[in-house]
Structure 1
Amino acid sequence: MAQTAVTERPAAREAPPAQLSVPQRLTTWTPALARHAGWLGPIAVALFAGVLRFWNLGHPRAFVFDETYYPKDAWSLLHQGYEGVWSTTANDQILAHPQTIPFDEVPAFVAHPPLGKWVIALGEAAFGLNPFGWRVMVCLLGTLSVLMLARIGRRLFGSTLIGCTAALLMSVDGLQFVMSRTGLLDGVLMFFVLAAFGCLLVDRDRARARLAGPGADGDRTRLGLRPWRLAAGLLLGAACSVKWNGAQILAAFGLLTVLWDQAGRRAVGARTPLRSMLRRDALPAFASLVVLGVGTYLAAWSGWFATSGGYDRQWAAGRPGPVPDALRSWWHYQAEMWRFNTTLTTPHTYQSNPWSWLVQGRPVSMYWQPVVTGQQGCTDHGGCTTQILALGTPLLWWTACFALAYLLYRWFFRRDWRSGAVLCAVAAIYLPWFQFQQRTIFSFYMVVLVPFLCLAVAQMLGAMLGPPGSAPRRRALGGVAAGAIVLAIMGCFLYFLPLYTAQVIPMSQWQDHMWFTSWI
């Protein structure tokens, strides 16, 4: 029987996928990038800020300004729960090779609450008692603040571009840069205040969405549990637990959030929005912010309460009273702190008046060392120097003065709530310092103000671009002008970068950077 021959055809091969040209690839990626720009943009700016801040963070290997206090207090908290006394030679011993750490169990009086030092202690627990260890957590929070500001600006203005612009401006502000690389408390305070502001913005949007929902009544609807406002209360309590000037910010933000509630009820047709807010929102707001804030402040003192050796810990012993001894001793300690903080008048070379702060009239020299010719790479015959100057990028701060005036116009004449929100934060942070005309105070306290100045400048730059629908020529000219301002600010930061990072520079070059005699 003949077999039938079967001819097998080779299997057809699949055609290789067509290669996309570069323009086609960009066209394909653009929608994906657009969908995620709200996070990709802020993360990119934060990475830029982080590289700047973490680069050579351990330099200089020295105690910079008040680092002579807080890192050592943080080490004491970490190992014994309260701040102890340190010997006069402790700085040299800590920086020596081999290192010795001569802290004592004798309690020390400290003028600030402990939470900021606990934050610094986290870095020391991971990396030891050295410049990198006591700066790393403040640096991390300073970098995260840039990310938060981009997201906050995006939510506040409804624009990723404006939010990222605000964050970019903060990433190149000299004051925020220096304070992010220094183991002091003010950078930690700034982080908590900014985070609380962001939480209140999210709470505002969530509350308005509930009021606008089906079946809601502007006069009668209760908004129920508001987790973002609870988070804000926790963060504001943390701010107070770093430095007491967080208290006036808590009060201002508390007023701001209930006014937003009143405006939200009015927007959905409430007949009596003020009375409805007072009846349904005011008390929950007080509990969320003030009560939770006080609880957070008390919790920050847990190390002091849990041990018996802290300063004034046994003050109430032998003094009978209806309140537990620990609480009465703690209250006495708070009174001592209040007395110190409100009566400090010891003169200091770099103290300044708040009137000069917005124009950076008297920056603080936090570190200064002359360098002899032939040492540390100094080749100039006139000698060299190395300095850390807590100077806000001048062009940014001077631009911010105009931006604040613009926001005042927008708030007063246009009833722009966004301008009012930024101005509320500026007023709460800045204005209370004017009552201390005799107290020893410094311009670097204004690092807490930097995020809100950057928001103000970004809002003004956004207005320069023009509203949506503007003529192309109008948008182009506005974009060029706004871009030029941003580039000028970045260039100004780069010019002063040697004075922010303790680089060795010739004395002649240092003198060129001293634009005003008040900077010396």
Structure 2
Amino acid sequence: MVRNWGVSAQRLVPPMQGTTLVGWAGPLLVALFGGLLRFIRLGEPNAVVFDETFYAKDAYSLLRYGVERTMLGDSKNPVADQRLIAGNLDIFKHCPQPDDCASFVAHPPLGKWMIAVGEWLFGMNPFGWRFAAALIGTLSILIMARVARRMTRSTLLGCLGGLLLSLDGLHLVLSRTAVLDIFLMFWVLAGFACLVTDRDWARKRLADLHESGAVTRLGLRPWRLAAGFCLGAACAVKWSGIFFLIAFAIMSLMWDAGARRALGPRGAYRGTLSYDLPGALAAMAVVPALTYLVSWTGWFAGAGGWGRNWGQATSSGPVFFVADSLRSWAQYHLDVLGYHSNLHEYHPYMSEPWTWPLLIRPVSFYYPPDVPPSACGADACSQAVDGVGTPALWYAALLALVGLVAWYVATRDWRAGAALLGYAAGWLPWFYYAIADNRTMYLFYMIPIVPFMVLALVLMAGLALGRQDAPAPRRAVGAATVGAFALIVLVNFWWLYPVLTAETITHAEWWSRMLMSSWVTTAPK
């Protein structure tokens, strides 16, 4: 049964095109395609890749001890790496007291707990510690397709969004590597999707109340609560999630004000402050804070965490235990803040944020120097995992973002504003750290922004296709243009695929895929 929302609701919430079945079937098929790309050969390379040397082993430590513990070997843990690949899981130092082995870690624990799920299910091996990243990367494709569909009211455009995300090289690499950034991206995208859904829910609810003459207090908003949980989870993976939390909280309130103004300009902002702000504070401040706090349960519950001071905390009753535990936890966070504020160590693949959209300096995740010539039947062979985006997608996204700026200035379309805000929240804060702090940074910090790049492309594709009632020749030209662009991205991704997934190829074939000399640290052989 289709509900008749009335004139005001039709204005507030445009109807969705197509059926619910098609609206789910299309995105699920796209996610299946992206999942195959991420899961096939997931256990290769059979090695500890890039920062897996930290996060895969920290995750395993969480499984065994509830906190991160010190490993055998030096800061890069080569001894532990060799033991893991050989199937020897005795990688932790043996300490008389739990806190003697406490390890200082620079990021909250949630992302490592998520990695630990795969290790628990499939064992402490490359497939096991990469499983969660591949699953989360696949689910993010589904969410991308669904949120793009909701924002454009088009299943076709939604599927285009999911397809483009599945074909991004950086997204693929991080979905096949046990590092934290893909989990950060997932929770940011999920939180954004929940807020877009909340926008529709709230506007329908507001229209109902308005037509009945009731006081426009919307009551419990489950999707905004879910958004608060997701964005709190993003912060519990990496602190940079806070930028999105603040930006999206303000965006959601502005959407509320816009809905009230559409029903009548008088009192729109007063209504938002009176009726919407208290609930927004609960959903977008209290819920994220509690989510973040709960993610530290393992640290609170045992004696082996860094700076835990368990003996002191348990010395004088439950009230002192809580107070002293929170004090120790706060001190730990100050220590982590100091670490990040003084992170100036040189790395050969570090880069500045203004270079990231141009893919000038991607990160080499894996490049073994000892691949035998017999592996590819040539004089020299290569295996590589390069953390780089698909250039055709990234460069087109730059043009799309410029188009969105013009579109937003001309029309104040909320969709253009949302995509631009998501991009700005994930990119501009790093300028401060680069200029004022000279912090060590990398291209893959862009991964939470990639969904908003894709969304910009989808919105521009919608403009190219035109309205449903546009002349057939106009829509045919638009469809051909969008289809040609998707094909270009697909071909570009296919060309890069061997150096994204550690396929064994000749050195000449590897070198031909290096778009710029800045992608590598040494000259070709």
Q: Shared fold (TM-score greater than 0.5)?
A: yes
Partner in structure 1 of residue 392 of structure 2: 395
Alignment partner of 1:243 is 2:220: no
Unaligned stretches of 5+ residues in structure 1: 1-32
The within-5 A match list for 1:82-481 is 82-88=67-73, 89-97=79-87, 100-102=90-92, 104=94, 105=98, 106-215=101-210, 220-314=215-309, 317=312, 324-375=323-374, 377-381=375-379, 383-437=380-434, 438-481=438-481
SS at match of 2:70: strand
Mapped to 2, the partners of 1:315 and 1:339 lie a distance apart of: 23
**Distance in 1 (alpha carbons) for counterparts of 2:513 and 2:479:** 30
- What residue in structure 1 maps to residue 516 of structure 2? 516
The amino acid of 1:231's aligned partner reads: A
Residue 59 of structure 1 and its aligned partner are, at CA, apart by 0.3
Matching residue of 2:13? none
Q: Distance in 2 between matches of 1:364 and 1:181?
A: 15
Which residue pairs with 1:504 in the alignment?
504
CA contact (8 A) 1:218 1:268 kept: no
Contact 1:120 1:183 in 2 (8 A): yes
Aligned counterparts of 2:399 and 2:355: Cα–Cα separation in 1: 15
Q: Shift of the alpha carbon at 1:374?
A: 3.6
| Cα distance, 1:80–1:218 mapped onto 2, change above 3 Å | farther
* Pairwise CA distance, 1:210: 1.3
**Cα pair distance change 1:371/1:201, threshold 3 Å:** same
Distance in 1 between residues matched to 2:159 and 2:234, nearest whole Å = 25
Q: Check if 1:71 corresponds to 2:56.
A: yes
Alpha-carbon distance in structure 1 between the residues aligned to 2:91 and 2:427: 38
The aligned amino acid for 1:211 is L
Deviations, residues 69-100 of structure 1 (Å, cap 9, x unaligned): 00111111111111000011111111114554
- Classify the secondary structure of the residue corresponding to 2:491: helix
- Could you tell me which runs of 5 or more consecutive residues in structure 2 were left unpaired when the two chains were aligned: 1-17, 74-78, 521-525
Contact residue 94 and residue 129 of structure 1 kept, 8 A: yes
Pairwise CA distance, 1:214: 4.8
In the TM superposition, residue 317 of structure 1 has moved relative to its aligned partner by 3.4
- Is it true that 1:53 corresponds to 2:30 in the alignment? no
Tell me the residue number matched to 1:4. Answer: none
For 1:219 and 1:283, the matched residues in 2 are separated by 19
What displacement does 1:219 show? 10
Distance across 1 between alignment mates of 2:142 and 2:305:
37
Shift in Å at residue 324 of structure 1? 1.2
Q: 1:447: Cα distance to partner?
A: 1.1
The answer (yes or no) to whether the contact 1:67–1:183 under 8 Å persists in 2 is yes
State how far apart, in whole Å, the 2-side matches of 1:146 and 1:273 are. 36
| C-alpha contact (below 8 Å) 1:373/1:379 kept by paired residues | no
CA distance, structure 1, for counterparts of residue 211 and residue 194 of structure 2:
23
- Residue 182 of structure 1 deviates from its aligned partner by 0.3
Q: Which has the larger radius of gyration?
A: 1
What is the alpha-carbon distance in structure 2 between the residues aligned to residue 215 and residue 474 of structure 1?
A: 39
2:218 and 2:501 map into 1 onto residues whose CA distance is: 49
Contact 1:265 1:273 in 2 (8 A): yes
- Number of matched residues? 486
Given that 1:411 and 1:420 are in contact with CA atoms closer than 8 Å, whether structure 2 keeps it comes out as yes
The question of whether the paired residues in 2 share the 8 Å contact of 1:120 and 1:134 is answered with yes
Q: Call closer, same or farther: CA 1:266–1:55 in 2, change over 3 Å.
A: same
What corresponds to 1:38 in structure 2? 23
* Aligned residues of 1:316 and 1:325 also touching (Cα < 8 A): no
Once the 2 structures are TM-superposed, how far is the Cα of residue 102 of structure 1 from its aligned partner? 3.5
Contact 2:232/2:292, CA 8 A, preserved across alignment: yes
How far 1:482 moved relative to its partner?
Answer: 1.1
- Preserved CA contact (<8 Å) 2:69 2:92: no
